[in-house]
Amino acid sequence: MTMSDLVRIAACHASPVFLSAKATTAKAISLIQEAAKNKANLVVFPESYIPAFPIWSALRAPTENHDLFKRMALESIYVDGDEVNAIRATAKQFGVLVNLGFSEKVRYSSATLFNSNLLIGTDGEILVHHRKLMPTFYEKLTWAPGDGHGLQVADTSFGKIGVLICGENTNPLALYSFTAQGEQIHISSWPAIWPTRLPPGILPTPGEEIPNGNASDGKAAVSSVARGVNYDNVAANRTRAAAHCFEAKCFGILCAGYLGTDAIEIITSGASNPKVVSQALQKSSRGATMFLDPTGTLLPGFTIDSKTSAQEQKDFLQEAEGILYADFDLGDCIEGKQYHDLAGGYQRLDVFELKVDRRRRQPVVFK
């Protein structure tokens, strides 16, 4: 491949078949087949696509979630299991790269899970197996911390590709470790929603008036945190992904999940306050799937009609499922390096030193 070649990306803005590893794997294979038919070179899935993202931990008390955790543990998958093997075989069959987010279980425990990601090569081989360094906030109720083994950029026939999961894209040291490996395409995977508060109006407080933060009314502007506003998932995700694209001079793929009606029904069922949980799920801001260029600027993508093959330009996908495509010219990663090559000519290697431990951690070492 030459630097002037275009790489076609297919980002799957899709929901899992909630808490069903088998059915979600079948859906993933179908999406890979569709993307390959549309000449995609790299097919990307959201965070923890198989079997689901445990969003119930944000909205239900831990004491209510034992059954959901048990289902999550049973439906999480092994890295050498049937589900991953089927997706590897599909990648090889169609000659595409596949990036898969999944909840990983391990053979030394019945309930230790990791928020994991695989980058699978065109020959079906696993190029990078990454476990999220640190589960974020309520994710700690489901997943254990990972390790540095997956902080690797894969040098593929379609560019140098790295991936971090959700909140890891806030970690400047992890991001720099990818810059220092010459990353050209950075994948960041995200959940469908990630509420930190209940949306306004679900649990009104009698007599409480939330300031609107409008400086024109003579009052001082109030931050969104002080106003009790939910975490702006879309803005936050784009901000950190764009910052990395600008600093690393790489393309960005933000692939977010989609919240299906089956997820809403399952998470609501058995909740002590099902109405609140249901409304919170439905009213929380949806994650968006989008692309960024090496300056951090939004790169419009397009959808492809499955019947007519007609293309329609889309800035992002958010409110409906689909596959968003874009064509990356990796030659566009060069110009910005003239100005700020943070791992090369614009770095002071005599002043700063970063060490990364890539050892895969095990619970015991037998000798």
pLDDT at residue 202 in the model: 78
* pLDDT in the model for residue 222: 66
Q: What is the pLDDT of residue 4?
A: 47
Residue 231's pLDDT is 78
Q: What is the pLDDT of residue 226?
A: 64
Give the closest residue to 241 by CA, choosing from 195, 296, 203.
296
Active-site residue, selected from the candidate residues 12, 47, 75, 247: 47
pTM above threshold 0.75: yes
Q: Is 337 exposed, middle or buried (0-12, 13-18, 19+ CB in 10 A)?
A: middle
For residue 219, the model assigns a pLDDT of 57
| 132 included as an active-site residue | yes
Place of tokens 């695989």: 118
Q: Name the catalytic one among 12, 27, 105, 132.
A: 132
Show the tokens assigned to 294: 């090496």
Q: In the CATH hierarchy, which fold is given to the domain comprising 6-196+231-338?
A: Nitrilase/N-carbamoyl-D-aminoacid amidohydrolase (3.60.110)
pLDDT of residue 210: 39
Q: Given strand 251-256, what is the order of strands in its sheet?
A: 154-156, 159-165, 185-190, 251-256, 290-292
Domain assignments of the chain as residue spans, ordered by start? 6-196+231-338
R_g of the chain computed on alpha carbons: 21
3-state secondary structure 60-103: CCHHHCHHHHHHHHHHCECCCCHHHHHHHHHHHHHCCEEEEEEE
Q: Which of 27, 83, 166, 247 is catalytic?
A: 166
For 48, 54, 105, 195, the CA distances from 116, given in Å and listed in that order, are 7, 14, 9, 21
Q: Could you list the pLDDT tens digit for every one of the 367 residues in the chain?
A: 444 479 999 999 999 999 999 999 999 999 999 999 999 999 999 999 999 999 999 999 999 999 999 999 999 999 999 999 999 999 999 999 999 999 999 999 999 999 999 999 999 999 999 999 999 999 999 999 999 999 999 999 999 999 999 999 999 999 999 999 999 999 999 999 999 998 887 765 544 443 343 444 555 666 666 666 777 889 999 999 999 999 999 999 999 999 999 999 999 999 999 999 999 999 999 999 999 999 999 999 999 999 999 999 999 999 999 999 999 999 999 999 999 999 999 999 999 999 999 999 899 999 9
